Amino acid sequence: MSRDANQTTDDLRILHALERKVLWLASWTIHNANHIRENVDGLKVGGHQASSASLATIMTALYFKVLRPQDRVAVKPHASPVYHAIQYLLGRQTREKLADFRAYKGAQSYPSRTKDTDGVDFSTGSVGLGVAQTLFASLVQDYVRAHGWGSDRPEGRMIALVGDAELDEGNIFEAMLEGWKQGLRNCWWIIDYNRQSLDAVIREGLWARYEALFRDFGWDVVILKHGSLQQEAFAEPGGDKLRDWIDHCPNPLYSALVFQGGAAWQRRLLKDIGGEPEVRALLDRRSDDELAALMTNLGGHDLPTLLDAFARTTHDRPVCFICYTIKGYGLPFAGHKDNHAGLMTVKQMETFRAAMDVREGREWEPFEGLAESGEALQGFLNAAPFATRPAQRAQPPRIETPAELSVPLQPVMSTQAGFGSILNEIGKQQSAFAERLVTTSPDVTVSTNLGSWVNRRGLFAQQALADTFKDERIPSTFEWAFSPHGQHIELGIAEMNLFILLSALGLSHEINGERLLPIGTLYDPFIARGLDALNYACYQDARFILAATPSGLTLAPEGGAHQSIGTPLIGMAQDGLAAFEPAFVDELAVIMAWAFAYIQQDGEVPPDSDWLRDEAGGSVYLRLTTRPIEQIARTMTPELRREIIDGGYWLRKPGPNCQAVIAFSGAVAPEAVQAVGLIAEDRRDVGLLAVTSADRLNAGWTAAQRAREAGRAQASCHIERLLAPVPSHCGIVTVLDGHPATLAWLGSVHGHRVRSLGVEHFGQTGSIPDLYRHYGIDTAAIIAAAEALTPGRPIRHLRALG
């Protein structure tokens, strides 16, 4: 044998041993969490031993041999124990965290970038999202390199380990179409084709649909159906009949036979094809156990087949590997259709332990029960290409951002126009800040006012593409030319794609070691369309700015169906996302300047922090509108700037005998201002509170209360300080073009009575005044609410307005 062949045989022997160990450790981790920890703290969890086992071979091949340090992987959620076991063997996961799997601060049930400590590249959990994340991560890698950054580092492959039922998620196909448009490269999707979902065995012949689909989108498809044992058996006399039988066996029957084992295989194969003497002889040459090993030797459980397929893929085109596997491979419930949450019983685990040669008390020993020497195994692990990846993620320096953003103010303008104008001004600059900014939009670039920015900075594409209208000298407001230097990524209309792309752009500093400042735009109501992906991006701690515009009823003339009501509440509730709804453009400029710094923060939050965790940073959501309103001519003081960021300020300070306060957010500013003017004629010392961020006001209040409860008596927050001078008999009317609950809590801060105005129903078309009247957020409604809430004579202007 040549030296290379010897080496391959040695490697294979060791990899087989590691595959066995990975299967043991993953199964033991889950068993330990259920049967051992359970007695301690009642932590009863799902099994998922079967789902993990399905990927044990593929992940062994990848992590110990195939992956290079620059490759990044999204691991199917239920393969988490396999992932952690592998990192444990590589010395990147602790035994304590494995023993605490799924427990407080232990290894996470689904791989988590933020909560796990063993280098998870992409979180997974909500199926389909991690898969698409790898595609967009690959596009972002290309974006970064096309802009001349990071070219000293080798290109990585973005790899997803995908459950076959996961492929039912539509967002995966939306992503594939976008990938085709954008010239996707360096992306591998490895499908764990175990033909089982959570509930049952999946539909027959899906692989053929996948194959056609992937090829249509420009992917290579590699099907790994039969392992090397099967290939050898097919070469024996009668082997072709066996292959034919396997190829035509329905999925449920195959699964059932896998579960039943060797004797059942013998019976069934003898009955179906044993009449042929050659087949009979082929079967007779094998014991029941050997036959079971042969029949479960599918491509996805066969190291030589996997290694060969991965090694052959040296090009950079996207590849889909369809790997036939068995859910629960190597475990007693392999193939059973109900095995999804299956968990080995204590007795089954004892049998499994004996089969794995693991002695009691030595369950966590890395090399226990393996025939290879510890030295050889450790040497192999140390030499794995992946093992040279630094344990720490890249932390590129922050990009310096301006303390103030200039914006030419018009006397009357909308926050959306202001947003476009601010970006246009940035677009004129030659600075690292302007260069690192990247915008993206799902076919609403022009209608969300990114047009002038795009005119200045161009659209991004790997290959330059001129603007035909310009070349033909047809006048047009917008230049639509693509180049590798462009700074806007135009997406098709798929909001899921927008959020997953933002997730990828917003992790570039850690994935590519190159920081980007991403801004995405969409119509506010369509946040709901991509909400799970937005949540996913935040969960991964991706950093971006989201400009959602138009919003609320202000979109009404275009169609009642487009009105957003609940988004302010989403903004408050979404972890990792600071939500703002400015009314005036100078406020927006302040918020955006702050946001560019905030999305780069990653500091520790001091333990005694009673405020907003600003040190830790996060993403930012701007709820904007197309409604032009009168701007305020004023000087932006440092104090006002601070208050705008903290969430609110007095536009008109309440006097000492204040009877009514109007608190408003966003587009309803003109109604609130007018109402206060009119109410002031019949009520004393009326106050007008501009709320720029209900989210941050509320978060500060919650934090302050918690801090006081923890004994820090001096803790206070912005809204407490703002409302402190308001007499207790005073009523507060809150109003916004969104759900009234957004501001309804203001009364609880100091116990004021509150009437919350907002929008609870939607669907009416009309002008903004029509709709504000219809839904009760116009001036008259504000005055009526103030009148009902406060003692005194009727407010005279109420009738005049009607």
Ligand X SMILES: Cc1ncc(C[n+]2csc(CCOP(=O)(O)OP(=O)(O)O)c2C)c(N)n1
What is the contact surface with ligand X in residues (CB under 6 A)? 51, 54, 77-78, 126-127, 163-166, 192, 194, 196-198, 327, 340
The C-alpha atoms of residue 506 and residue 113 are separated, in whole angstroms, by: 13
The SS3 call for residue 36 is helix
The minimum distance between CB 125 and ligand X, in angstroms, equals 6
Q: Is 342 in the site for Mg ion (CB under 5 A)?
A: no
Residue 166 touches which of Mg ion, ligand X, none (CB < 5 to 8 A by kind)? ligand X
Q: Which is nearer to ligand X, 529 or 718 (CB)?
A: 529
Q: Which is nearer to Mg ion, 251 or 631 (CB)?
A: 251
- Pair 84, 73: CB distance under 8 Å: no
- Tokens 């670039």 belong to residue: 445
The minimum distance between CB 343 and ligand X, in angstroms, equals 14
- Tokens 């949540």 belong to residue: 535
The minimum distance between CB 512 and ligand X, in angstroms, equals 27
Q: Which is nearer to ligand X, 49 or 230 (CB)?
A: 49
The minimum distance between CB 79 and Mg ion, in angstroms, equals 11
The C-alpha atoms of residue 435 and residue 431 are separated, in whole angstroms, by: 6
Q: Which is nearer to ligand X, 78 or 683 (CB)?
A: 78
For residue 88, the tally of other CB atoms under 10 A from its CB is: 23
Residue 340 touches which of Mg ion, ligand X, none (CB < 5 to 8 A by kind)? ligand X
Point out which span in 138-146, 191-199, 424-432, 617-625 binds Mg ion (CB under 5 A): 191-199
Structure tokens at 100: 């605490």
Q: Is 255 in the site for Mg ion (CB under 5 A)?
A: no
The C-alpha atoms of residue 614 and residue 360 are separated, in whole angstroms, by: 49
Q: Which is nearer to ligand X, 83 or 594 (CB)?
A: 83
Residue 549 touches which of ligand X, Mg ion, none (CB < 5 to 8 A by kind)? none
Q: Which residues pair with 465 in a beta bridge?
A: 482
Q: Is 164 in the site for Mg ion (CB under 5 A)?
A: yes
Q: Which is nearer to ligand X, 133 or 445 (CB)?
A: 133
- Pair 576, 545: CB distance under 8 Å: no
Length of the chain: 802
- Pair 251, 202: CB distance under 8 Å: yes
Q: Which helix (H) or strand (E) holds 438?
A: strand 437-442
User: Among candidates 172, 178, 248, 249, which has minimal Cα distance to 210?
Assistant: 172
The minimum distance between CB 325 and Mg ion, in angstroms, equals 8
Q: Pairing between strand 545-548 and 687-691? A: unpaired
The minimum distance between CB 739 and ligand X, in angstroms, equals 25
The C-alpha atoms of residue 523 and residue 519 are separated, in whole angstroms, by: 14
- Of residues 47, 111, 163, 550, which one binds Mg ion by CB under 5 A? 163
Q: Is 194 in the site for Mg ion (CB under 5 A)?
A: yes
Q: Is 251 in the site for Mg ion (CB under 5 A)?
A: no
The minimum distance between CB 301 and ligand X, in angstroms, equals 14
Residue 336 touches which of ligand X, Mg ion, none (CB < 5 to 8 A by kind)? none
- Pair 518, 438: CB distance under 8 Å: yes
The minimum distance between CB 538 and ligand X, in angstroms, equals 16
- Tell me the residue number closest to ligand X, measured at CB: 163
- Pair 279, 242: CB distance under 8 Å: yes
For residue 671, the tally of other CB atoms under 10 A from its CB is: 25
Residue 127 touches which of ligand X, Mg ion, none (CB < 5 to 8 A by kind)? ligand X
The identity of residue 662, as a single letter, is I
The C-alpha atoms of residue 747 and residue 733 are separated, in whole angstroms, by: 9
Point out which span in 186-194, 385-393, 412-420, 547-555 binds Mg ion (CB under 5 A): 186-194
Q: Which is nearer to ligand X, 323 or 771 (CB)?
A: 323
> Applying CB under 5 A, what is the total number of residues that bind Mg ion?
5
Q: Which helix (H) or strand (E) holds 482?
A: strand 482-483
- Of residues 34, 60, 138, 196, which one binds Mg ion by CB under 5 A? 196
| HEC per residue, 359-398 | CCCCCCCCCCCCCCCHHHHHHHHHHCHHHHCCCCCCCCCC
Alpha carbon separation from 802 to 13, 647, 755, 781 (Å, rounded): 86, 33, 20, 10
Q: Which is nearer to Mg ion, 78 or 562 (CB)?
A: 78
Q: Which is nearer to ligand X, 166 or 587 (CB)?
A: 166
Residue 675 touches which of Mg ion, ligand X, none (CB < 5 to 8 A by kind)? none
The minimum distance between CB 327 and Mg ion, in angstroms, equals 6
The minimum distance between CB 540 and ligand X, in angstroms, equals 15
- Pair 620, 546: CB distance under 8 Å: yes
Query: What part of residues 13-42 is at the interface with Mg ion (CB under 5 A)?
Result: none
Site residues for Mg ion per CB under 5 A: 163-165, 194, 196
